Amino acid sequence: MSISFTLNGDAVTADVDPEKPLLWVIREDFQLTGTKFGCGIAACGACTVHVDGIAMRTCVLPVEAVAERNVRTIEDLDIDGTSNPLQTAWLEHQVPQCGYCQSGMIMAAEALLQEIPNPTDEDINAAMTNICRCGTYDRVRNAIHTAAKARQGG
Amino acid sequence: MAKGSTAAKWTRRTFLASAGLIGGGLALGLTLAPNRLKMSADTVKDADEAILNTWVKVSPENQITVLIPHSEMGQGAGTGLAQMLAEEMEADWNTVSIEQAPALHEYTNSDLGRGYIVGEGAEIPAFIYPLLDFSFLQIASGLVGQMTGGSTAIRLTGHHGMRRAGASAKGMLLAAAARDWDVPLSELEAKDSYVLHAGSNRKESFGSLATAAAEFEPSLKPDLKDPDTYKIVGTSKARLDLPEKVNGRAVFGMDVQVPEMIYAAIALPPIRDARALSVDQSGVRKRDGLGQVLNLGDVVAVTATSFWTATQVLAELNVTWDGGQQDLSSEAIRALHENDLAHKKREVMDSAGNTETSLAQGKRIDATFAVPFLAHATMEPMNCTAHVTHPTCEIWVGHQNPLFAKAAVADVLGYDKDSVTIHSQYLGGGFGRRGDMDFVTIAARIAAQLDKPVKVIWSREADMANDSYRPAILSKMAGSLDGSRISAVSHAYIDASSGMPDSERPFAFPYDVPNRQIERVKCPSPIPVGTWRAVDFTQMGFFNETFMDELAYEADVDPLQFRLDHTTDPRRRAVLQRLGKEARWGADLEPRRSQGVAMVESFGTIVAQVVDASISDDGGVRVNHVTSVVDCGRLINPDAGEAQIKGSVIFGLTSALFGEITLEGGKIVQQNFPDYRMIQMENAPSQTVYFMPSGNPPGGLGEPGVPPVTPALTNAIFAATGTRVRELPIAKHGFYGV
Ligand code: FES
Ligand code: FES
């Protein structure tokens, strides 16, 4: 069966089992491996992408659920160079350690900032439920605050 | 307490060589080999061949590439090593990049360990000892390891190898300029990737001198810089691997794409050592892209063109497993430990004075401690891609020890090791788990049945239930006080063999006590155990630092002061004093909010921490803040070091608040993150980290932050509630993390 959706701005069609989770469609069928597999049960957030601007965990999201919808992955975040304020802030704060969770972290943070441009620590706690086994949490928090400021023009 | 006696003196042969590069430029290689043992003709021969290895390359365009022989698993070792080399070379940091060295003998740690450490007449840290041991080398098919673990990267490779390679390269570039310009060497200066001659105002880039420099002999003993003049080492250079870790481009083992590659999902025995008797496929629905079902006895694999398809089919199989240790349970293992500690013959690790008499005379306290099995739970589940064509094999994997992986694959396939190629990838966390061989050899065995490359991915459930766990162990301590001083300490503990070299394992009570009796009973774990970030220090740190706290309260002395009263080593004292100041130790806090302190020295680094925690009436433990003071000797990259300490604190706290792997009916109970819980953003405390200024050789930073934080937390819980946490996690005492 073919499912059509928009992936990072391009109209695409996936000719796959409609139940196949979006994570594996993105990784295997479109070879975009920035989105990671961590738990497979929506518990860690490594597989977070945006579906119509909302952060979604894709390891349990059947691809049919995104038919005709707009999917954006980490690979699209810096499409105009490295100008995304989150990525700049992430480098400024030297956030990643192993880096494996960071695509999901950044996508969750981007969705947060789109919804709440100037989040409080409580907003960050509520929105950022991704697991980082390397324990980068306090740098993630600081980088989100820095990016929020930058997005609002410093 | 130091175990210096287990270290050994060695002599060396050093190979340092250079070569011109095709297309111009210079490659400088440095390899060291032992002349002791005459062992391993194999290794020595390889080392000779390694004369053309490359640690650093200088291109005609003046770009400098440093080859990094350690795996990058988040510790930033690559950047730190490059800083050490660039410093001695007088390179312009902006022109330096890093590359992962391939898994070849030329890049081995232990060659360095043997050579340089030895060359300086210094002692070899005992933890590297097994790598140097003849029998070990034979077991490893004559290979020596490219090991990342034991916090070795900066301590060994960097301190003894990278600095030397950089200085030698600089010497050759200067020599080339001296010849070409016909000026005395002494009038030349290297600076920011250029050679300068002040007298004639000449200036030439390293790149344009590189080809000429390759004609000179590198110096075996180049002059090294005075650390006071360092400009690159000791500064917070941005990590060179991070740009691709914020845009999804970094390729981890999980992300490798190989032409024609298929996927495999695997089922491992639900009970250790069980075998798959039969695999019933009658429940399998037909699906596009389904490949084969393979029963290898200890693993059942399904291959498909999609990992998801393979996973679905795997779930529909009916595998009959047979045998294994079905009566294993956490309770049974605990009972075994109790019994062994009570009845088995003990091995004396440390003995001084007359402990029995002192214990009988003083004010005595007794404590029994127990810690559980812990999983590594790296963020990236185990995976490995393998392509076996007869007679070669290619492996794509993120591994902490690619050279041993190469030997293990060769062994399992019955191939010559030279026909196995390892393509090293980024590691999505290691923590010791990615030093194991199982995930690599399983992939190789599956690939051997196929005519295509296959990426074998472990589900999170497979990863969690088939780990090599941090061992669960039991400990009994007794101590006595003579006034406010400790008169005696006895400690008897179970040693379940973590996989840490015996000579490096901690056992001592790390404070000044006149009468001591430290004993262990070896009781190998019935389930696989392995190295877990900071290894045995996590258990010993908890036992010793909790007990120290108990003694302090019994003596009615402030716990931090009590530690100082029993510490003479100036470095450790300075760390404690600084901690007291930075953490505002003793500040007045609201009811049920308290501070706890602990200090553990491991891998050449002293870390002392204060945990500030609040405990609700129903036992909810909230960690507010953690202050760490660290003496790691000379600090290579302060910002990267701070990140390691902060990450280690989260790693340790996670285990104290939530961590426990249990067994029932031979099966691991925990399956995935909900039942093996992790600290998340909302539980993560704020943190401050302070480094002591030091000119001592660099200590490790990836692990030493882990051990003290657990006892610092449980000591804070005691201070706030009066309940002593002697078993972990804190749920054992009715507390829970919030
Ligand atoms: S892999 Fe999707 S939430 Fe963990
Ligand atoms: S950076 Fe390693 S898991 Fe987050």
Rounded distance from Cα A20 to ligand 1 centre (Å) = 14
Q: What's the longest Cα–Cα distance across chain B?
A: 87
User: Domain holding B411: CATH number?
Assistant: 3.30.365.10
B682 close contact with A: CB closer than 8 A = yes
Task: Please check whether residues B311 and B204 belong to one and the same domain.
Answer: no
Rounded distance from Cα A101 to ligand 2 centre (Å) = 5
pLDDT of residue B615: 98
Residues lining ligand 1, judged by CB closer than 6 Å? A 37-40, 42-47, 57, 59
- CA–CA distance, B415 with B392 (Å, rounded to integer): 8
pLDDT of residue B152: 52
Of the candidate ranges B126-130, B266-270, B617-621, the one whose mean pLDDT is the lowest: B126-130
Task: Please check whether residues B355 and B276 belong to one and the same domain.
Answer: no
Interface test with B, best of A15, A20, A93, A94 (most B CBs within 10 A): A94
- For a mutational test of ligand 2's pocket, the pick from B73, B252, B379, i.e. the residue with the most ligand atoms closer than 8 A to its C-beta, is B379
Confidence bin at A43 (pLDDT 50/70/90): very high
Residue ending a domain, among B174, B204, B238, is B238
Three-class HEC string of chain A: CEEEEEECCEEEEEECCCCCEHHHHHHHHCCCCCCCCCCCCCCCCCCEEEECCEEEEHHHCEHHHHCCCEEECHHHCCCCCCCCHHHHHHHHCCCCCCCCCHHHHHHHHHHHHHHCCCCCHHHHHHHCCCCCCCCCHHHHHHHHHHHHHHHCCC
Mean pLDDT of chain B: 85
Quote the Cα angle for B334-B335-B339, to 5°: 120
Residue B692 domain-assigned (yes or no): yes
Residue ending a domain, among B238, B266, B300, is B238
B307 close contact with A: CB closer than 8 A = yes
- CA–CA distance, B39 with B34 (Å, rounded to integer): 9
pLDDT of residue B169: 86
Q: Which tokens hold the place of B600?
A: 């553990």
Task: Please check whether residues B189 and B280 belong to one and the same domain.
Answer: no
Query: Does residue B73 register a pLDDT over 60?
Result: yes
- CA–CA distance, B384 with B428 (Å, rounded to integer): 12
Task: Please check whether residues B530 and B621 belong to one and the same domain.
Answer: yes
Task: Please check whether residues B307 and B348 belong to one and the same domain.
Answer: no
Task: Please check whether residues B310 and B337 belong to one and the same domain.
Answer: no
Task: Please check whether residues B213 and B267 belong to one and the same domain.
Answer: no
- CA–CA distance, B691 with B205 (Å, rounded to integer): 36
Residues lining ligand 2, judged by CB closer than 6 Å? A 96-102, 132-134, 136; B 74, 379, 429
Q: Give the closest of B239, B246, B684 to A138, CB-based.
A: B684
Which residues lie below 8 Å from residue B326, measured CB to CB, with a gap of 6+?
B271, B665, B666
Q: Above pLDDT 70, what percent of chain B?
A: 84
Residue B6 domain-assigned (yes or no): no
Query: How many domains does chain B contain in total?
Result: 3
Please name the residue that has the structure tokens 């002999």. Answer: B217
- CA–CA distance, B427 with B146 (Å, rounded to integer): 15
* Model-level ipTM above the cut of 0.95: yes
Q: Is B55 exposed, middle or buried (0-12, 13-18, 19+ CB in 10 A)?
A: buried
Residue B390 domain-assigned (yes or no): yes
Task: Please check whether residues B265 and B363 belong to one and the same domain.
Answer: no
Query: Does residue B602 register a pLDDT over 60?
Result: yes
State which residue of chain A sits closest to B307, comparing Cα positions: A24
Of the candidate ranges B269-273, B329-333, B598-602, B706-710, the one whose mean pLDDT is the lowest: B269-273
Which ligand is the nearest neighbour of the Cα of B679?
A: 2
Determine the atom of ligand 1 nearest the C-alpha atom of A40: 1
B457 close contact with A: CB closer than 8 A = yes
Q: Which tokens hold the place of B616?
A: 């609700």
pLDDT of residue B11: 30
Determine the atom of ligand 2 nearest the C-alpha atom of A134: 2
Task: Please check whether residues B489 and B591 belong to one and the same domain.
Answer: yes
pLDDT tens per residue across span B672-702: 999 999 999 999 999 999 999 998 888 888 8
Residue B2 domain-assigned (yes or no): no
CA B188 to chain centre: 42
**Which domain does B438 fall in, by range?**
253-324+382-457
Instruction: Give the up-direction half-sphere exposure of residue B364: CA atoms within 13 A in the CB hemisphere.
Output: 13
**Dihedral sign, Cα of residue B640, residue B646, residue B652, residue B655:** negative
pLDDT tens per residue across span A3-31: 999 999 999 999 999 999 999 999 999 99
Confidence bin at B58 (pLDDT 50/70/90): confident
CA B610 to chain centre: 24
Residue B568 domain-assigned (yes or no): yes
Yes or no, beta carbons of B379 and A132 under 8 Å apart: yes
Rounded distance from Cα B624 to ligand 2 centre (Å) = 22
Please name the residue that has the structure tokens 């290297």. Answer: B190
Nearest 10 degrees: Cα torsion A106, A107, A111, A112: -30
Coil, strand, or helix at residue B34? Answer: strand
Q: Which tokens hold the place of B360?
A: 């009988």
Query: Does residue B456 register a pLDDT over 60?
Result: yes
Are the beta carbons of B194 and B95 closer than 8 angstroms? Answer: no
DSSP annotation of B237 reads P
Please state at what angle helix B77-89 crosses helix B163-181, rounded to 10 degrees: 30
Q: Give the closest of A43, A90, A139 to B672, CB-based.
A: A43
Residue B520 domain-assigned (yes or no): yes
Which residues lie below 8 Å from residue B660, measured CB to CB, with a gap of 6+?
B372, B373, B374, B670, B728, B729, B731
Residue B126 domain-assigned (yes or no): yes
pLDDT tens per residue across span B533-558: 999 999 999 999 999 999 999 999 99
Task: Please check whether residues B609 and B720 belong to one and the same domain.
Answer: yes
Task: Please check whether residues B335 and B367 belong to one and the same domain.
Answer: yes
- Other Cβ atoms closer than 10 A to B41: 9
Residue ending a domain, among B238, B266, B296, is B238
Total residue count of chain A as it appears in this document: 154
Residues of B whose CB is below 8 A from A36: 252, 254, 379-380, 428
pLDDT tens per residue across span B241-251: 999 999 999 99
Residue B243 domain-assigned (yes or no): no
Q: Which domains does chain A have, with CATH numbers?
A: 2-75 (3.10.20.30), 85-151 (1.10.150.120)
Q: Whole-prediction pTM value?
A: 0.90
Rounded distance from Cα B74 to ligand 2 centre (Å) = 8
Task: Please check whether residues B214 and B123 belong to one and the same domain.
Answer: yes
Q: Which tokens hold the place of B268?
A: 């491992």
- CA–CA distance, A146 with B463 (Å, rounded to integer): 36
Q: Give the closest of A28, A77, A129 to B247, CB-based.
A: A77
Closest among B457, B715, B413, B421 to B585, alpha carbons compared: B715
pLDDT tens per residue across span B715-725: 999 999 999 99
